[in-house]
Structures are given as structure tokens and as C-alpha cells.
Structure 1
């Protein structure tokens, strides 16, 4: 086989090399595609604020169930309330005795703008009929990344998750060592950007966005 290749005309050898290169690129691209076992219209299920299932073409909706992970996610709005997509929060957990309270920017509450207060309010209001709302782990939040979106859009399926910012969202992972310009603060919490899909450790007092998650399901 090798003798036949080297005895072939130069033009034919170039064609063989080019075809092999194209095949390698195509196979590589397929292998690098995200593993989504369900199409988007089957993967996500909308839920009302009261915990009722909704058709995917209807609305408004307050939560989205990811049927590949079993997780229920809050959905942001543009209404002037606790679920507004523009509000930011500092990372704070009284249970873990970590973080900095009330360093975010949310207009619904003048005295508290931190992740613990948002979680407390979400559970008190029983979004989608549930308590048990919490910050997602880095792995959980990364499961929402969608790198197939159009350029300039947040790297998430905005048809189900509107009002998502191309910015950092807090995760539950804390005690992360800070480096560079943040080194003076020593440790902080991990955040994931839906702008570029990257994770980074940020100081607890940073005002960042939040998307809460729930491991339970509406009845």
C-alpha cells in the first residue's frame, strides 16, 4: 500500500493527503460536540411559578427543568421584583461562616443584597411550589452552557433562559484561592461566565449574578 502511494503521481498524493486531513477535522469536530442526549425541545420543560407544567411554546414561565440532569432552574424576568435578571449579589453563607453580606446591587431590598438572602426569599416564596432552592455547584451550572449559540449571545439556551447576562454567575463552591489582582483577598468563591464559558475565582464581595437551582421536582 505504501509503495503504491509513493509511486502515484504527486497530484494524486496531494489529493489523498487532503482527503485524510478533511476526514480528521470532521471526526474531531464530531467528537468535540457537547453530549446532549435529548434535543432542546425534549430536554427542557417549562414550569409556572405555581409549579404547573407548561407547553414549550407558552409562557410566562418561572422555572425550567433539565430532563438530562433532573435539576430545576429558576428563570429570570425583567419585572421589578426579586427575580429580575439585572440584580447582582455578593457571595455569603451564614451556615458556612464564609462570605461578605449585602454587597450586591438589587433594588427590591435596600438592606440585603447577597446570595443567602436571595435563597431565603426564594424558599419563603416557594418558587414553582418548592423550597430547597440553593446555589448550584460549578458542575451543575456548567451543564447549562451552550456553545452553539449565535455570536454575541450568552452561551446558554436563551429560548428557555431569557434575561441571562454575558457575565459571571456565582456557584456554591467557595474557599477558592484568589490570584492576580484579587490575591489580596486570599480566598473567594467560584463563578461561571455565560459570556465565554470560563470559570474564575472571585472575591466574596464581588457583585455578581445568580441563577438558583433545585434538586426537587414540582408535584
Structure 2
């Protein structure tokens, strides 16, 4: 067995440290980049930063509707009472107001997709966190600082449903009386839970 002298040992250890550090630096950079990767899509589903209608989040594989500044169903001021397609079946108070928005988005294949729906409470929390990034926030300039509906009910108080307030990120059930008109952000993709 060959024994290394002190100089060889130092060179060997320095080389191993350099290789190990390079591995961790590359791994950390790629992980950080992949977590922050989003792309904006136009109404047909083509990547576009000029006329974005949706934002695709590669971290969660969800695509979000971007609200518009007009009087359309996708307009930032359009509100809906709670209930309709996808809503949790808890309690007897439910409305079908948001069905028109969901059906129109799917019929028109908004951003190239036909599986639009109202998000779960966990997905809505993810959206609030996502749009806090300074690079992403401008795309959500038409999102109001108000509670937004999720499809998630609240079993203890069946006349309420769960919301996320886009002014402060707080998730409420008591702020979401089902008869109150609140805005909705559509989403598509497999239902997601908040990462634990």
C-alpha cells in the first residue's frame, strides 16, 4: 500500500473538497431555478409575455387564470356566490354562479386547456405564496386585495366556505359566507395539497 506524503494528502483533500462543493453548488442552483420557473401563456396557450392570460407554475404543475381589466367573465371585478361545479358537498347552501366562468373557460379552451376548475383551499394558498414574488406579482396586478373563493367547505359552519384573502394571505372560513359575492381564480391541473 502506497503512503501519501503530507503535500499529496493536502492536494488530495483539497481536490475532494472542491469536487464536493461543486456538486452541492450545482445541485442547489438547479433546485432553486426549478422552484421559481413559471411561464406565461396567451389565450391560445402559446408562451407570451406580451399578452399573458395564464401563468404556468412548473413547481406545482398548475396553470392559473390571470384576471383581466375588462367586463368579461374573467374580469377582475366579476364576483360569484359560493357553490357550483367542483364545490365540496357539505351543507345545503350552495349556488351555481361560478359555473358560467368554468364552462366558458373550458368551452373556449382558455390557454389551450379544457379542464379549468375552482381551486381547493390548499391550491389557493399556494397561489398567494407564488404571487408574492417580485418577478411574478406584476402578472397578478388585476387580483384584488380581497378574499377569493375555494371549492373547500367548512364542515363546522356549513353556511360558510374557505377563502384566502389576497391582501394579507390569511385563510378564512368566517369571511366566506356562501351567499356573499367574491371573486374566483380558476386553476387547472391535478389537485394539489400544500407541501408539508
2:166 aligned with 1:177: no
CA distance in 2, matches of 1:79, 1:65: 22
Equivalent residue number for residue 200 of structure 1: 172
Q: Please, which runs of 5 or more residues in structure 2 have no aligned partner? A: 1-30, 191-196
Deviations 1:116-158 (A, max 9, x none): 22111211111111111011111111112249959xxxx9942
Q: Residue 76 of structure 1 contacts residue 161 of structure 1 at CA under 8 Å; is this kept in 2?
A: yes
Structure 2 residue aligned with 1:75, among 63, 66, 82?
Answer: 66
**Alignment correspondent of 2:98:** 115
Q: Which runs of 5+ in 1 are unaligned?
A: 1-35, 103-113, 179-185
Aligned pair 1:144/2:127, yes or no? yes
Task: Indicate whether 1:93 and 2:87 are aligned.
Answer: no
Cα distance, 1:43 vs structure 2:
2.0
Aligned-partner Cα distance in 2 for 1:126–1:118: 12
Superposition deviation, residue 93 in structure 1: 1.9
1-structure distance, mates of 2:132, 2:86:
37
Q: CA RMSD in A?
A: 2.9
1:6 — aligned with what?
Answer: none
Structure 1 segments, 4+ long, off by >4 Å, are 94-99, 147-150
Alignment length (residue pairs)? 155
Whether 1:43 and 2:37 are equivalent positions in the alignment is yes
Q: Give the alignment partner of residue 64 of structure 1, picking from 51, 55, 79.
A: 55
Flag the 1:190–1:65 CA change in 2: closer, same or farther, 3 A.
same
Change (3 A) 1:146 1:156: farther
Whether the 8 Å contact between 2:115 and 2:188 is mirrored in structure 1 is: yes
* Counterpart Cα distance in 2 of 1:172 and 1:117: 15
Q: If the length of structure 1 is used for normalisation, what is the TM-score? A: 0.62
The residue that corresponds to 2:27 in the other structure is none
